[in-house]
Amino acid sequence: MNISEAIRTRRSIGKVTEEDIPVSHIEQILEAGTWAPNHKMTEPWRFFVLRGEGRKVLGEALADVALASAADPSSPEAAAAAEAARMKPFRAPVVITVAVTPSEHDKVIELEEYGAVFAAIQNMLLEAHGLGLGAIWRTGAPAYHAKMNEHFGLGEKDKVLGFIYLGVPAEGQAPQGKRKPFGEFTVWVDEAGPLKK
């Protein structure tokens, strides 16, 4: 598959089988992430590959976040929400937690470190697609909670930017993609001068 085809046919696939993913495929996906552009070659990405019982690390983190976010952590509702959160990582045989560790370099802008890791995630999703695997990048408020950093041994300035759930796609076709024409978001500038709204 060429790069244009990969970009246009990649879809978020959340329903996957429990079939194991070869370590060589996981390593290929991780390496693809490291080829993302990053200013000053800071390589700010951190990857945590969760398989088998290792997925419990994320499950416990999600459960702790659910309890910490509950109005009454001792309520039956909070306990049920925590248990539901605890089981989420078991929706796929492999979950790759992706985090950013911003550089302390005085010429590196922190926001650009986030951009580099987001680019790494896109590389990883495209590599997974090229390998015929299903993947979905899951994010949300729990990813950014301080308790998530605690569970993954991350520093105060570090941030989890999401979880790539990875597996063999379950039966069924990937949804058709739809995007607005690029022209709706594009301004062509051929001459110097102020741009108009």
37, two tokens = 């552009």
* Tokens 């969760």 belong to residue: 50
In a domain, residue 67? The reply is yes
Known binding residue 139? Answer is yes
| 54 in a structural domain | yes
What's the pLDDT tens digit per position in 146-155?
Answer: 999 999 999 9
pLDDT digits (tens, 9 = 90+) for 99-121: 999 999 999 999 999 999 999 99
Whole-model pTM: value is 0.94
Does 179 belong to an annotated binding site?
Answer: no
Q: Is residue 98 part of a domain?
A: yes
- Position 179 scores a pLDDT of 95
CATH number for 165: 3.40.109.10
In a domain, 191, yes or no: no
Those residues whose C-beta lies under 8 Å from the C-beta of residue 122, and which sit 6 or more positions away, are 36
What is the C-alpha separation between 197 and 175, in angstroms, rounded?
A: 35
Range of 136's domain?
Answer: 3-185
Expressed in angstroms, the distance from the first to the final Cα of the chain is: 39
The pLDDT of residue 118 is 98
163 pLDDT more than 90: yes
Any residues with CB less than 8 A from the CB of 137 and at least 6 apart, and which?
Answer: 12, 121, 125, 162, 163, 164
Residue 197 in any domain: the answer is no
Annotated ligand binding at 11? The verdict is yes
DSSP secondary structure letters along 139-168: -SGGGGSHHHHHHHT--TT-EEEEEEEEEP
Taking residues 167-172, report their average pLDDT. Answer: 90
- Return the ∠ at Cα 91 (arms to 89 and 93), rounded to 5°: 80
User: Does residue 80 carry a pLDDT above 80?
Assistant: yes
Distance CA(128)–CA(167), nearest Å, equals 9
Residue at 194 is within a domain: no
Question: Is 8 marked within a binding site?
Answer: no
Task: Give how many domains the chain has, as a whole number.
Answer: 1
Decide if 113 is inside a domain.
Answer: yes
The Cα–Cα gap between 140 and 125 comes to: 18
Note whether residue 61 is domain-resident. yes
- Please give the Cα distance from 149 to 161 (Å, whole number): 11
Cα–Cα distances (Å) from 74 to 20, 69, 81, in that order, read 37, 12, 11
3-state secondary structure of 187: coil
The verdict on whether residue 10 carries a ligand-binding annotation is: yes
Tokens of 39: 């200013």
Q: Are 131 and 112 in contact (CB under 8 A)?
A: no
